[in-house]
Structure 1
Amino acid sequence: MSAVTETRLRQRIRPSHIIQPIVAILVAVALLGVPFWLVIVTAGKNQAEALQPNMALPAEWQLWDNFVTVFTDGKMLAAFGGSVLVMVPAVIGVLILGSMAAWILGRRRSKSMAFIYALAISGIVLPPAVVTVVLLLRQLGLAGTAVGMIGVYMGMYLSTVIFFVTGFVRTIPVELEEAARVDGASPVRVFMKIILPLLMPVLATATILICLYIWNDVFYALFVVGGRLDTLPLNLYQVASAGLYLQNWHLIFAYIILMSLPLLIIFMVAQRKIISGITSGAVK
């Protein structure tokens, strides 16, 4: 190997090129791995060991017993049904309405449409007024109902779908729609048969994000349906404030693990579509 080649090789392999990835991995492990480990080991301890949560291993693992206690005494099944009852219609509704609106906004270029688009995605940064929402639901007779909660979630996360889908729609060739219209397809048929199948990657991304927001929400659920319909986070908040989970950190962390499993499984299955949807919709 010549001296010039060795010099070039040393310039390419700099210490910073090796140190930076290692530092990034260590930071990721510290930010994600440490809290995850704390939850797992605390959920596997008994009440006495978990009284002061730490990262030490339990003397005897009781993770399964804690899961059984949480599932039976914590009424998780009813809370799971409440979460699904609210989340599934809200997600389906916001995806359909948001993708249809994004299709129109992505295809029509004018100052008025640009203003409507800016107004539509403003909900991402503007939080809803909780007092106003609750008062409005009371006037409509929807306070404390699943329908009212579904409407609140749809209004909150419609901007997210429009933001993701509009950028993706602009990458779809207009010639596909024009060919379908020449064949006599109506706008609804064009959307359902051509546009919607092409939006599946970005809709998968939006679905996971919105499901994550709704599944873990306790703030808005407490004000809108608190005490009348149980969701998993709301049920955890209520029982933890009562007596079953009071100072029982092993049961609280066991509840958190069980509550997180459904979305974790969905994320692992749809991971590739989520990443492709982010890069295709948000970047383009």
Structure 2
Amino acid sequence: MTRKLQPMVAVVLAAVFVGIPLWMVVVTAGKSQGEALEPTLALPSRWHLLDNLRAVWEQGRIPQALAGSLLVMLPAVTIVLLFGSMAAWVLARRKGRVFAFVYAAGISGIVLPPAVVTIVLLLRQLGLAGTAAGMVGVYAGIYLSTVIFFVTGFVRTIPVELEEAARIDGAGPVTVFWRVILPLLRPVLATATILICLYVWNDVFYAFFVLGGSLDTLPLNLFQVASAGLYLNNWHLIFAYVLVMSIPLLVVFVVAQRKIIAGITSGAVK
């Protein structure tokens, strides 16, 4: 009886903690200004969702902020996944105290928060403060530890005989990584992609200090617009903006989720 109830309890909890906030965002984004002053779960008397989305798209500088978010997120995620998986492969295959220390240092970024003041001062010395390249470097440095942590454990489950067979056929280290290891990392890299995209896409704290208003991202733009009073008491527009921000992440989640399932099932068949 308990085993039958566990899946039902999990579904109910997921519906409560995920479904209710999502429902509130959607229904509030579809209300008028007066109805949205006190956000509730009630349906709007008349749906204004399309009008609100059109208003925030035209008045909230969303196209420019969307371009800024993509300009920062895409290179950061690519760099983190590529170099993180390379480092994880080397650290997973090497033994000894030196490599154990390097691995510990590599994943220390998960528990040791970076100092914002130091980051900003360093970027100013390098001439990268207020630039997309500087922001990409900050995100890469912060989340590289996450990829190393995830991928290292996964690489250790891959049989070494696959690499040895490739080396017998004359493949070098680069070829072994690209042709043998990287295709097998798709499930764990898909999971890491979801997490890193979520962190980078919703970041306001580091973007505020590093970019300093020279480049807009979606969450930073929402913060600035709301602080300027344009959306003051316009909760219907704020929630509509949040809904627009969430759509790209939902697309990434759906695509990456399919990759995870495909990777697991193909590995099981093999």
Classify the TM-score, shorter chain: over 0.9
Cα deviation code 1:106-143 (max 9, x no counterpart): 00111211111111111111111111101111111110
- Between 191-200 and 156-165, the greater mean CA deviation after superposition: 191-200
1:159 aligns with 2:145: yes
TM-score, L = length of structure 1: 0.88
Superposition map of 1:78-117 within 5 A: 78-117=64-103
1:241 aligns with 2:227: yes
Q: Are the aligned partners of 1:202 and 1:273 in contact in 2 as well (CA < 8 Å)?
A: no
Decide whether aligned partners of structure 1 residues 183 and 164 sit closer, same or farther in structure 2, where only a CA change above 3 A counts. Answer: same
Aligned equivalent of 1:148: 134
What is the identity percentage for the equivalent residue pairs of Structure 1 and Structure 2?
70
Distance in 1 (CA, whole Å) between partners of 2:36 and 2:77 is 37
Decide whether aligned partners of structure 1 residues 22 and 194 sit closer, same or farther in structure 2, where only a CA change above 3 A counts. Answer: closer
1:50 aligns with 2:36: yes
Q: Are the aligned partners of 1:202 and 1:277 in contact in 2 as well (CA < 8 Å)?
A: no
Give, as a single letter, the amino acid of the residue that structure 2 aligns with 1:165: V
Note the residue ranges of structure 2 that are not aligned, 5 or more in a row: 265-270
Give, as a single letter, the amino acid of the residue that structure 2 aligns with 1:64: L
Q: 2:218 aligns with which of 226, 232, 253?
A: 232
Decide whether aligned partners of structure 1 residues 115 and 277 sit closer, same or farther in structure 2, where only a CA change above 3 A counts. Answer: farther
Aligned-partner SS, 1:270: helix
Aligned-partner SS, 1:164: helix
Larger of the two Rg values belongs to structure: 1
Aligned equivalent of 1:74: 60
Distance in 2 (CA, whole Å) between partners of 1:23 and 1:126 is 35
Q: Are the aligned partners of 2:186 and 2:260 in contact in 1 as well (CA < 8 Å)?
A: no
Give the total of aligned pairs.
264
- Between 269-278 and 212-221, the greater mean CA deviation after superposition: 269-278
Distance in 2 (CA, whole Å) between partners of 1:19 and 1:180 is 48
Aligned equivalent of 1:10: none
Cα deviation code 1:218-268 (max 9, x no counterpart): 110000002100000000000111122111100000000110001102212
Aligned equivalent of 1:6: none
Decide whether aligned partners of structure 1 residues 267 and 187 sit closer, same or farther in structure 2, where only a CA change above 3 A counts. Answer: same
Q: Are the aligned partners of 2:190 and 2:257 in contact in 1 as well (CA < 8 Å)?
A: no
Q: Are the aligned partners of 1:45 and 1:250 in contact in 2 as well (CA < 8 Å)?
A: yes
Distance in 2 (CA, whole Å) between partners of 1:169 and 1:19 is 35
Q: CA RMSD in A?
A: 1.7
Give, as a single letter, the amino acid of the residue that structure 1 aligns with 2:20: V
Q: Are the aligned partners of 2:204 and 2:220 in contact in 1 as well (CA < 8 Å)?
A: yes
Distance in 2 (CA, whole Å) between partners of 1:181 and 1:17 is 48
1:250 aligns with 2:236: yes
- Between 160-169 and 148-157, the greater mean CA deviation after superposition: 160-169
Distance in 1 (CA, whole Å) between partners of 2:263 and 2:98 is 27
Alpha-carbon distance, 1:183 to partner: 2.4
Alpha-carbon distance, 1:196 to partner: 1.2
Decide whether aligned partners of structure 1 residues 116 and 27 sit closer, same or farther in structure 2, where only a CA change above 3 A counts. Answer: same
Aligned-partner SS, 1:127: coil
Alpha-carbon distance, 1:182 to partner: 2.3
Aligned equivalent of 1:188: 174
Q: 1:170 aligns with which of 119, 144, 156?
A: 156
Alpha-carbon distance, 1:17 to partner: 4.6
TM-score, L = length of structure 2: 0.93
Note the residue ranges of structure 1 that are not aligned, 5 or more in a row: 1-13, 279-284
